[in-house]
Structure 1
Amino acid sequence: MENPLLLALFFFLIAIFYSSVGFGGGSSYLALLVLAGVDLFVLRSTALMCNIIVVSGGTYIFYQEGYLNIRRTLPLVLASVPFAFIGGYLPLSSKFIFITLGFTLLLASVMLWVKPTHNEQHSVVERTGAVAAVVGGVIGLVSGMVGIGGGIFLSPVLNLMNWNKAKKIAAIASLFILVNSIAGLVGQWMQHPPYLDLNWSWPLLIAVLLGGQIGSRLAVLKFSNTTVQRTTAVLILIASLKILNDHLFGF
């Protein structure tokens, strides 16, 4: 297994960047752990634990600053939680999980690269609870299956739908990731014994705690870095291609 202290440095930087835009960083943690050759079930649990640590602080800060509207967020969350649990609980084969993870990371890299620029002056479009339930349920299911919080999918979708202002979408994504990461982790641990080696992963958890606290405070200000965003997209792309090559094409 890769040296956790080296991984911790990358996790720290990822946590700063992702938490600054309301994300947990799960897709990038997974990408690094895949490239490091970490066991499938260990990497899924570890990525979700890191997500929970990062977005807990971010969700609290967004709420304190008045960016998180619980009422508008509830339909998304209530639909996503049971599906994230189901996704984590499903008795899927390692091959199926890896292939799904590969395609999910591939899609995530594309969405991160072409993430739409959000205009704070746009008019917010009210969506029905049914639309919110469909969006939350689909993203929750996929997130639970592969071990991410789903914010990397939710945020671009909400932006495209003119769901809300940019910072409020970041706040929604933060809460969404938190509850889905918890639900997905519970689902995984009900299907398998807990796969979290604290003797190995504690530097990663501390790194994302520190990085998340820094990034979450930047989130309520103005923080955007297209270069970092696209570099991260390339990292995720490389990991997705490696997974698909190893488990789908077998070259």
Structure 2
Amino acid sequence: MLPEDIILTVVILLAAMLYAAVGHAGASGYLAAMALAGVSPAVMKPAALSLNILVALIATTKYYRVGAFSWPLFWPLVLTSIPFAFIGGSVTLDAEIYKPLVGIVLVYAACRAFLWADTRSSLAIRSPRKVLLMAVGAALGLLSGLTGVGGGIFLSPLLLFLRWAEVRVISGTAAAFILVNSIAGLLGVISRVPELPRWWVVLSVRNMAVGQPGYPEAVGIGSGYCRHQDDCPGMKPCWGCGN
């Protein structure tokens, strides 16, 4: 493996551990790391969604076991977020649009980390209206599918600001929200791009996690990868174009 490949793997693993501790899956961290490494946008979204699924599944299980979860808060959100995440995942944005959009998301994530760092959980909890939760779910689901984030970085501060749940419940609910949105978004990507091998996502995630040979080529960095990925039609794996 090349040094930059090792660094990217380590950064992704650290992001996964840090984000999982607060009920998030780390998509903004993965996207930032992959963007800095020069990974193609066609690869960034499905890779981030796949990593989201793995990390959010672990976080959701842990929070649910300790009772840090709210079904009344969760089901109206995902009722609309799942179909919209699927729609967003099926949309292939041009690099000129996708990169600035992801950049906005990453800037927001950084600002949120500072602005909400000292937020207290002593405020009284309010009961949200179901129709409002459904509207929020639809908007965040679409954004999740389009960019490859799970939506938790937007959902958590919103729930906290509106005092719709206590912090520990927000973390658990956000983790589950990220999980279902990431699954729906990834299914949308696969439904739109049938030429993308079904095993590709699993392979890329495994290689990212354990640093197995083949990872550089799978994610678009290192030797043997087509450097003209933005010119390749659709979202075909660029190593197949022969350049």
TM-score by length of 2: 0.79
CA distance change for structure 1 residues 106 and 120 in 2, over 3 Å: closer, same or farther? closer
Residue 31 of structure 2 corresponds to: 30
Shift of 1:176: 0.5
Residue 46 of structure 1 corresponds to: 47
What CA distance in whole angstroms lies between the structure 1 residues aligned with 2:201 and 2:172?
30
Residue 22 of structure 2 corresponds to: 21
**Local SS of the residue matching 2:136:** helix
Shift of 1:202: 2.2
Q: Counting helix residues as a fraction of each chain, which structure ranks higher?
A: 1
Residue 8 of structure 1 corresponds to: 9
Residue 219 of structure 1 corresponds to: none
The answer to which structure, 1 or 2, has the higher relative contact order (CA under 8 A, 6+ apart) is: 1
What CA distance in whole angstroms lies between the structure 2 residues aligned with 1:114 and 1:78?
30
Residue 103 of structure 1 corresponds to: 104
Aligned residues: 207
Q: List aligned pairs for 1:70-149, cutoff 5 A.
A: 70-115=71-116, 117-149=118-150
Shift of 1:87: 0.8
What CA distance in whole angstroms lies between the structure 1 residues aligned with 2:113 and 2:78?
22
Cα shift readout 1:193-229 (whole Å, capped 9, x = no counterpart): 437466554242358xxxxxxxxxxxxxxxxxxxxxx
Q: List aligned pairs for 1:195-234, cutoff 5 A.
A: 196=200, 201-206=205-210
CA distance change for structure 1 residues 159 and 202 in 2, over 3 Å: closer, same or farther? same
What CA distance in whole angstroms lies between the structure 1 residues aligned with 2:181 and 2:190?
14
Q: Which amino acid is the alignment partner of residue 81 of structure 1?
A: I
Counterpart selection for 1:194 from 193, 196, 200: 196
Shift of 1:153: 0.9
Shift of 1:151: 0.6
Greater C-alpha Rg: 2
Cα shift readout 1:134-156 (whole Å, capped 9, x = no counterpart): 11111111111011101111111
Cα shift readout 1:75-119 (whole Å, capped 9, x = no counterpart): 011111111111111243232222222222222222222125332
Give the gaps of 5 or more residues in structure 2: 212-243
Partners of 1:149 and 1:177 within 8 A in 2: yes
CA distance change for structure 1 residues 120 and 106 in 2, over 3 Å: closer, same or farther? closer
Q: Which amino acid is the alignment partner of residue 131 of structure 2?
A: A
Residue 167 of structure 2 corresponds to: 166
Shift of 1:23: 0.3
TM-score by length of 1: 0.76
Partners of 2:124 and 2:163 within 8 A in 1: yes
